[in-house]
Amino acid sequence: VTTPEVSKKSATVNIETTIKNSLGISVDALLKSIIYNPEGNIVAQTETNQNVVEGKNVVITHDIIVENPQLWNITEPQLYKVVSEIYQDGKKTDSYETPLGIRYFEFDPYEGFSLNGEKMKLLGVCQHHDLGCLGSAINTRALERQLEILQAMGCNSIRTSHNPPAPELLDLCDKMGFIVQDETFDMWRKKKTPYDYSRYFPEWHERDLTDHILRDRNHPSVMMWSIGNEVLEQWEHVDADTLDIQQANFILNFEKNVDPDIINSGEMSVNSLLTTMMVNIVKSLDTTRPVTSGCNEVNPWNNLFKSESMELYGFNYHHENYADFHETYPGKSFYVSEATSGLMTRGFYQMPSDSILIWPDSYPPSGKPIGNDENQCSSYDNCHVPWGSTHEESWNMVKKYDHIAGTYIWTGFDYLGEPTPYWWPSRSSYFGIIDLAGFPKDVYYMYQSEWTDKDVLHIFPHWNWEPGQIVDVWAYSNAKEVELFLNGKSLGTKSKESDELHVMWRIPFELGTIKAVSRTDGQIVLEKEIKTAGEATQLIATADRSKISADGYDLSFVTVDVLDENGNFVPDADNQIKFEIEGDAKIVGVDNGNPVSHESMKGSTIKAFYGKCLVVVQAGENPGEITLTASANGIKNTSVKIKSKKL
């Protein structure tokens, strides 16, 4: 289903339906194509009689006009549906539903991305497939929660790094208004790890790519196809098949170790031809979307670029090359396929905050100490990998230049595995804007202040330090200025300067309260305060949803915070929290966002990590009340009630 012509007054919907006859005899069939609007009413339909020969496929094309269409966009993702019905001798023998989002979009080399004629940036994140403590098995509600958290940040686009996504994710993106970069491969013929997909690529890549496009091409949220991510075929390196992924990253990003004869020849290598072949496969199945690839070799000797078959060029990192992109690639459309790779642990702070930490510093490591004894990374935006940048640095480049269609931050959520910059005992990533449990890190609010119209004021870190210790206090805000108070005394008003996306005060710690007041044109916009917390005395549990479906599948995510006697959040609490459940439900996961934790994610207990933890409750099939109780030694417990019912 495609929409070749779209305006506010009308849209042409092109429907190609394949009918297969497996009855053993030729038959006369009637195909009806019916379009329902978002309210469920029929707005257009047509039909065709067709003789279908036994054992053959026949393709029937319908062009239907929809008057005054409700356009699909990121704020109002209006979803029509196409229902295809087959009748034989007056009886309906088969039917099929296809989602339909009526929209048009464009990637312009100099003006960037537009949707329905409205210019906008793709404000995206890269997402791996896992769901934290729930693992890799897909649960629709868990995916929806991730998207809700991202959408509240201002995110409007997802890169399915680096594999075809679960169909449930695309269904949700259709409904919620996310734009999707749909990615097929993480590697081609050249391996990144000993047992990766490269073993199957020669035999399977054509079929897998074809199946992927056929499966996903009717999703209105999908607006570009990616055929690869940092594939080693980008360049001609004699050791390409012997490198691990970190070695490949460093060679691609720093050494530029390529064969000069190939650079200067102007001839396309077999890898350029392979690129063209895969682009042609995509175009044979879908001409409505551009084909791209995430490339961390940004120079013109990149074999994928030399093919000149991709309409849309994506750079992984290399923010220093964004501005002059068209000097190297005139007339090409451009976006940032992967950016930043900042390293952060929620609740952990390493000062001074204006000292940029690059971990690791080289590959192989130079021998310099990497990181700290806690195996954590600073939650100030001051730590990143050597091929990356700070969040502020990369986003400033993207928003500054019109020709950049958008960006995809690595990553939206922390994920299991790849614990860069550390090794064992770390077991999950530090890259996320949001931790593995779904708790936002501080930089989440930087993006919220930049990517949304809502008023934002977020101050950090916590206010539990040693007397006299020098502390860097940051504020993310989209007001014109922020004033900071310590125990009622003003420490001055500051505005963001130059390319800074935060303001900072460097002050000695003093027991009490810090308070930030944001103002625009002299008017108070928001006020936020943090108090020094005392000893942990109580818990509070908050469910993301108090009503869930009694279907044996639905979930409620319950956050447990550790508080002192005055209700202040205790930022360094690490109490062992135990959970008990009553009613027809079960605990299916626990987490706290700690990349170094080796506690079971499938148990009924977990430590708080910097004052917080998560428990995931799954409903049974019997409606009723569910009571979850959280307790810890020596402090007051808490309970939360959840109702499950048949929906």
Match 């791209």 to its residue by tokens.
Answer: 292
DSSP secondary structure string, 87-156? Answer: EETTEEEEEEEEEE----EEEETTTEEEETTEEE-EEEEE--S--GGGTTS--HHHHHHHHHHHHHHT--
CB atoms under 10 Å from CB of 640, counted, come to 20
Give the tens place of pLDDT for each residue, 169-188: 999 999 999 999 999 999 99
- Give the phi and the psi of residue 148 in degrees, each rounded to 5: -60, -45
Q: What are the chain's domains?
A: 2-100 (2.60.40.10), 107-451 (3.20.20.80), 457-531 (2.60.40.10), 538-645 (2.60.40.10)
Residue 203 corresponds to which tokens in the numbers above? 């035999």
- Give the phi and the psi of residue 234 in degrees, each rounded to 5: -60, -35
Q: What's the rounded Cα separation, in Å, for the pair 289 and 128?
A: 23
- pLDDT at residue 262 is higher than 80: no
CB atoms under 10 Å from CB of 365, counted, come to 12
Give the H or E element holding residue 436: none
- Give the phi and the psi of residue 77 in degrees, each rounded to 5: -75, 75
Contacts of 198 (CB under 8 A, 6+ apart): 187, 188, 189, 190, 191, 192
**Residue 444, SS3 per DSSP:** helix
Helices 201-216 & 270-285 angle (0-180, nearest 10): 30
Kindly report the average pLDDT of the chain as a whole number.
94
Give the H or E element holding residue 535: none
**pLDDT score for 249:** 53
- pLDDT at residue 534 is higher than 70: yes
pLDDT-derived band of residue 259, with 50, 70 and 90 as boundaries? very low
**pLDDT score for 257:** 41
Provide the annotated active-site residues. 230, 338
Q: Which DSSP symbol is given to 217?
A: T
Least confident of 176-190, 255-269, 510-524: 255-269
Higher pLDDT, 264 or 368: 368
Sheet containing 112-115: order of strands: 105-108, 112-115, 118-120
Give the tens place of pLDDT for each residue, 403-425: 999 999 999 999 999 999 998 99
Rounded-to-10 torsion of CA 309, 315, 318, 322: 80
CB atoms under 10 Å from CB of 30, counted, come to 16
Q: What's the rounded Cα separation, in Å, for the pair 447 and 384?
A: 17
**pLDDT score for 243:** 55
**pLDDT score for 365:** 60
What is this structure's pTM?
0.95
**pLDDT score for 362:** 67
- How far is CA 249 from each of CA 80, 245, 385, 395, 497, rounded to the nearest angstrom? 43, 6, 11, 21, 34
Q: Are 541 and 640 in contact (CB under 8 A)?
A: yes
